[in-house]
Amino acid sequence: MRVFVIGGTGFLGSRLIPKLQRQGHEVTILTRSREKASSLESLSIRVVVGDLLQPESFVANLSHQDIVISVAMPDIRPGRISSKRFKMLRGQTTTYFSTSITLAQKFHCPLLLTLGTSFRTRGDQVADENWPIERFGMTKIGEFVDPLILEVNRRGSLPLIQMLPGETYGPGGQDRPPSVA
């Protein structure tokens, strides 16, 4: 299967690509940084350099794909941000998802995408796929992308799978070395 991974050199993409490759998929990634992707090219992974905010910079370089996986997110650093920066990140995130949807529609293929989520738990509670999503903090950006997802699902124009990664970001989470599966 030909798999196009948007955000292939980021946190999730860098963990996903080796698994796809081990399963025999032909992987193409979109990245903003050729330097970050240089080690992937030696592994027979096709690298397309471009920016989701400017899809015209890379769309012409793409051949047909069987699935689009979008794990790209704007560069969001921990800590407090201004409302102006939040609006800018919200706009970027919305454009990322919109472009991902457009690419999947172009290829007439499924789209698997990730979106940050928040769950409120207490004590020893563990959130699972049935737990209600609550948007707060930076995951509030998702409130602006949710309508795009709902519209695609309403129209039924392409199979869309929303992945809610079970990863802990922050102390003891994202900074851990990746586990070997």
- Model confidence band, residue 164 (pLDDT cutoffs 50, 70, 90): low
Look up the pTM and report it: 0.80
- As a whole number of angstroms, the distance between CA 27 and CA 57 comes to 20
- Model confidence band, residue 64 (pLDDT cutoffs 50, 70, 90): very high
Give the residue ranges of DSSP H helices in 26-82.
34-41
pLDDT value of residue 179:
41
Task: Round the CA-based radius of gyration of the chain to a whole number and report it.
Answer: 17
Q: Which domains, from first to last, does the chain contain?
A: 2-163 (3.40.50.720)
81-123 per-position pLDDT tens digit? 888 988 888 888 889 889 999 999 999 999 998 876 667 777 7
For 155, residues 6+ apart whose C-beta sits below 8 A from its C-beta are none
Q: Are strands 26-31 and 160-163 parallel, antiparallel or unpaired?
A: unpaired
Neighbours of 65 (CB within 10 A): 22
For 53, residues 6+ apart whose C-beta sits below 8 A from its C-beta are 92, 95, 96, 99
- Model confidence band, residue 173 (pLDDT cutoffs 50, 70, 90): very low
Six-digit token string for 81: 């941000």
- As a whole number of angstroms, the distance between CA 134 and CA 151 comes to 20
pLDDT value of residue 115:
72
